[in-house]
Amino acid sequence: MNAAAGPAGSPSSSPAADFSLAVLAELVGLGVTDAVLTPGSRSQALALTLAELHRARMLDLQVRVDERVAGFTALGLGVETARPAIVVTTSGTAVANLLPAVLEAHHSRVPMLLLTSDRPESMRGTAGNQTTWQPGIFGRFVRLAVDVPAPSGDPAEGALAAQLAVSAVEAALGTHTGNPGPVHLNLQLREPLSGTVPDLVALLASGEWMPGGAGARVGAGDGDGDGDGGGAADGGGAAVGVETGVAAAEDSARTPLVLARGPRTVVIAGHDAGPAAEELAHRGGWPLIAEPSSGSRFGRNLIVASRELLRDADFGGRVERAIVFGHPTLSREVPALSLREDVETVVVTPAAASAEPGEVVLDAYNPGHRVSTFVTGVEVAAASAAGTAGVGRTAGVAGAGGTAGGTDAISEERDWLRSWVLASRALIDEQGADDPIPAPNIEFANSPDIAERRAYRLAETAALKAPVTRRTLALAVWQATWPHDRLILGASRLIRDLDRVAPGKNIRVHANRGLAGIDGTVSTAIGIALSSQRDPATEHGVTRVLLGDLTLLHDAGALLFGTGEARPRIQLIVANDGGGTIFDTLEVAATADRAAFDRVMLTPQTVDLEALAKAYGWSYARASTRVELDRALTAPLAGPTLLEVPLPR
């Protein structure tokens, strides 16, 4: 059978259509499950093929009118599944609009497949309509870029499509590099741009055709070829004591670094660190500093008041070693630690698997300061003294080796951890005591003293009617989220407020922290919601998005669901303080002219969010008190909802 001609076995009279089907069917056969499409003329063959693949239930297709929204929706799908989602666009500015999502995917190491349609090479530089220079448009921010010549109907093009698909998926997953990210296939297509799309439902039922003629599937997320996508549930982190780089069999010489006992150590879990950071902190008996979107913010070693303690000479000032997972972005104190000559900094990153000695590791944590070592994995050295070998949980890894520590080192590390935990608890309790509306004394609720019971009821009523603050909002959303839910945090003051107060909880949290921008937050969240709610384990969950008003307005186009498009259970919790009040925290806010500062930094807005929600067909609610907030967060959701929470500047 001529693979380029499609499953029917005969040409469709359009080489563009035949090649589009060959590439897309191969991608499906390799385990790709999602696609996001924006309409256009040059991409019509890809669009019609995707529609048929969706009808045949071979992949899930989402249609968006805005390429920037489509790119970030694909990003969210990739975040949740650890598989690359396809993004299809027409030519011209449509391609350029993908750049923001490509940048975030690059820096966050999220797999993505960009299939952009183009005129044949001969039309470049001729001022042809919607023709620009698309090859290489994303520069260094893609893992692979291929300018694919316009198909002509040659029988060999079927093999080319298969090879192209395999290379693209492997590069997007980082199968051989440990460094997943976006891939760009620029498909030159000439007229006729579309032909007859075969009935894939009938062909599948008859057994005449199966997708994926190239052979072996590429494993989604783990690169081991079994397609189990093991990386998704772990939030991108690696198991302690195991190399984090994929294709470990190709690089067996890279063994985990053994961490000797003794140095006063902290474990830092930045964005997307995964549970490996918590596991290491537990095994080592070291304080854990974990950002909300790290995937590590749980366990008994968690230090919530980490910023204050890192600034304290008796705590942060005594740190001798920092083990860093993920991408820390929320505080100045963490990068400041690596400025110090007396602190050894070890960065654990899958990207180290493909780095040459002395090479700067692409996308690894590197704030421009001193980093001692980049490694793919770490282990804690076993203690040699009797009775100390079993400290902490075992990671099930044999042959740890390395220099062993004794009982004195173990005892000192326990004291080190205990001091951090107790100090953090005291600071958090102190913050809670500063609440202008203290919690009622629960002991008074059933007191035999009438005055005490009355005092309890009055205090309870006052607490429920109290206005919402940023702190109470962040905590309420955190407390309302459970493992079958998803929580997405916008790049605003709120993620920092949450970082200061949120207790440990093993839930899935995401934030676009690759570049820490507000762009595409709603779109990304919708992609996560769509994917998580088709998984039987999380299909009944809710996706909550905690974001500021400007973050919402910047991505307002994402609120549009076309007729017939899937509408997930998603709740946008918009903290509306009338502008970018995060800039009020900058030093310049105290000295700048107030009117000028407000215009160019705060950028005040008075948008009617209720009208905006209703214009796009979203449900709307408003919560200005704690009791209203609690009711809104616990009420069942039937579909997309916008919850506005007014906050003072």
Asked whether residue 216 is assigned to any structural domain, the reply reads no
- Regarding whether 491 and 564 lie in a shared domain, the answer is yes
Question: What tens digit of pLDDT does each residue of 14-42 get?
Answer: 999 999 999 999 999 999 999 999 999 99
Separation between Cα atoms, residue 195 and residue 207, nearest integer Å: 23
DSSP 277-302: HHHHHHHHT--EEE-TTSS---STTB
- Regarding whether 150 and 49 lie in a shared domain, the answer is yes
In the predicted structure, residue 238 carries a pLDDT above the cut 50: no
Separation between Cα atoms, residue 389 and residue 34, nearest integer Å: 47
Question: What tens digit of pLDDT does each residue of 452-492 get?
Answer: 777 777 777 777 778 999 999 999 999 999 999 999 999 98
Write b or e for each residue in 624-645: b if 16 or more Cβ atoms lie within 10 A of its Cβ, otherwise e. Answer: eebebbeebbeeebeebbbbbb
Asked whether residue 243 is assigned to any structural domain, the reply reads no
Mean pLDDT, all residues of the chain: 84
Separation between Cα atoms, residue 207 and residue 247, nearest integer Å: 34
Asked whether residue 633 is assigned to any structural domain, the reply reads yes
Q: Would you tell me how many other CB atoms lie within 10 Å of the CB of residue 41?
A: 13
pLDDT (0 to 100) of residue 450? 85
SS3 148: strand
Question: What tens digit of pLDDT does each residue of 622-638 get?
Answer: 999 999 999 999 999 99
Separation between Cα atoms, residue 628 and residue 396, nearest integer Å: 48
Tell which of 186, 206, 226 closes a domain: 206
pLDDT higher at 369 or 217 = 369
Residue type (1 letter), 387: G
Asked whether residue 245 is assigned to any structural domain, the reply reads no
pLDDT (0 to 100) of residue 443? 75
Q: Would you place residue 493 in the very low, low, confident or very high pLDDT band (cuts 50, 70, 90)? A: confident
Asked whether residue 242 is assigned to any structural domain, the reply reads no
- Regarding whether 476 and 610 lie in a shared domain, the answer is yes
Q: Residues 230-248: what's their mean pLDDT?
A: 33
To 5 degrees, how large is the angle CA 560–CA 564–CA 569? Answer: 65
The answer to whether 62 touches 36, Cβ cutoff 8 Å, is yes
**Per mean pLDDT, which range of 27-41, 236-250, 341-355, 375-389 is the poorest?**
236-250
Q: Show the tokens assigned to 386.
A: 């009797």
Nearest to 529 by CA among 60, 45, 4, 51: 60
Q: Residues 323-337: what's their mean pLDDT?
A: 91
Q: Would you place residue 437 in the very low, low, confident or very high pLDDT band (cuts 50, 70, 90)? A: low
3-state secondary structure 210-272: CCCCCCCCCCCCCCCCCCCCCCCCCCCCCCCCCCCCCCHHHHCCCCCEEECCCCCEEEEECEC
- The CATH number given to whatever domain includes residue 516 is 3.40.50.970
Asked whether residue 405 is assigned to any structural domain, the reply reads no
- Compute CA 259 distance to the chain's CA centroid, rounded to the nearest angstrom: 29
- Regarding whether 44 and 165 lie in a shared domain, the answer is yes
Nearest to 16 by CA among 163, 117, 108, 128: 117
SS3 488: strand
- Compute CA 575 distance to the chain's CA centroid, rounded to the nearest angstrom: 21
The backbone region for 567, taken as left when phi is positive above 0, alpha when psi lies in -120 to 50, beta otherwise, is beta
Domain assignment of residue 92, given as a range: 15-206
Separation between Cα atoms, residue 7 and residue 428, nearest integer Å: 63
Q: Residues 391-398: what's their mean pLDDT?
A: 30
Asked whether residue 431 is assigned to any structural domain, the reply reads no
pLDDT (0 to 100) of residue 72? 98
- The reported pTM is 0.85
- The CATH number given to whatever domain includes residue 265 is 3.40.50.1220
How many domains are contained in the chain? 3
Tell which of 206, 222, 245 closes a domain: 206
Q: Percent helix, strand and coil across the chain, each rounded to 5?
A: 40, 15, 50
The answer to whether 589 touches 612, Cβ cutoff 8 Å, is no
Q: Would you place residue 225 in the very low, low, confident or very high pLDDT band (cuts 50, 70, 90)? A: very low
pLDDT (0 to 100) of residue 406? 55
Residue type (1 letter), 357: P
- Compute CA 245 distance to the chain's CA centroid, rounded to the nearest angstrom: 19
Asked whether residue 315 is assigned to any structural domain, the reply reads yes
**Per mean pLDDT, which range of 71-75, 249-253, 287-291 is the poorest?**
249-253
Most confidently modeled of 331-345, 388-402, 600-614?
600-614
- Regarding whether 478 and 371 lie in a shared domain, the answer is no
Q: Residues 317-342: what's their mean pLDDT?
A: 91
Q: Would you place residue 261 in the very low, low, confident or very high pLDDT band (cuts 50, 70, 90)? A: confident
Helix segments in 505-621, DSSP class H: 521-532, 549-554, 594-597, 609-615
pLDDT higher at 405 or 335 = 335
- Regarding whether 617 and 491 lie in a shared domain, the answer is yes
Nearest to 259 by CA among 247, 270, 267: 267
Q: Would you place residue 374 in the very low, low, confident or very high pLDDT band (cuts 50, 70, 90)? A: confident
- Regarding whether 175 and 61 lie in a shared domain, the answer is yes
- Regarding whether 261 and 201 lie in a shared domain, the answer is no
Separation between Cα atoms, residue 33 and residue 91, nearest integer Å: 24
Tell which of 331, 355, 380 closes a domain: 380
Q: Would you place residue 1 in the very low, low, confident or very high pLDDT band (cuts 50, 70, 90)? A: very low
In the predicted structure, residue 358 carries a pLDDT above the cut 70: no
Strands (E), 393-538: 486-489, 509-510
- Compute CA 216 distance to the chain's CA centroid, rounded to the nearest angstrom: 28
To 5 degrees, how large is the angle CA 245–CA 232–CA 294? Answer: 80
Q: Would you place residue 104 in the very low, low, confident or very high pLDDT band (cuts 50, 70, 90)? A: very high
End-to-end CA distance of the chain: 67
Question: What tens digit of pLDDT does each residue of 555-607 get?
Answer: 999 999 999 999 999 999 999 998 887 887 788 888 888 899 889 888 999 99
The answer to whether 292 touches 502, Cβ cutoff 8 Å, is yes
- Regarding whether 263 and 188 lie in a shared domain, the answer is no
- Regarding whether 488 and 636 lie in a shared domain, the answer is yes
- Regarding whether 194 and 58 lie in a shared domain, the answer is yes
- Regarding whether 283 and 146 lie in a shared domain, the answer is no
**Per mean pLDDT, which range of 1-15, 230-244, 269-283 is the poorest?**
230-244
Separation between Cα atoms, residue 645 and residue 574, nearest integer Å: 6
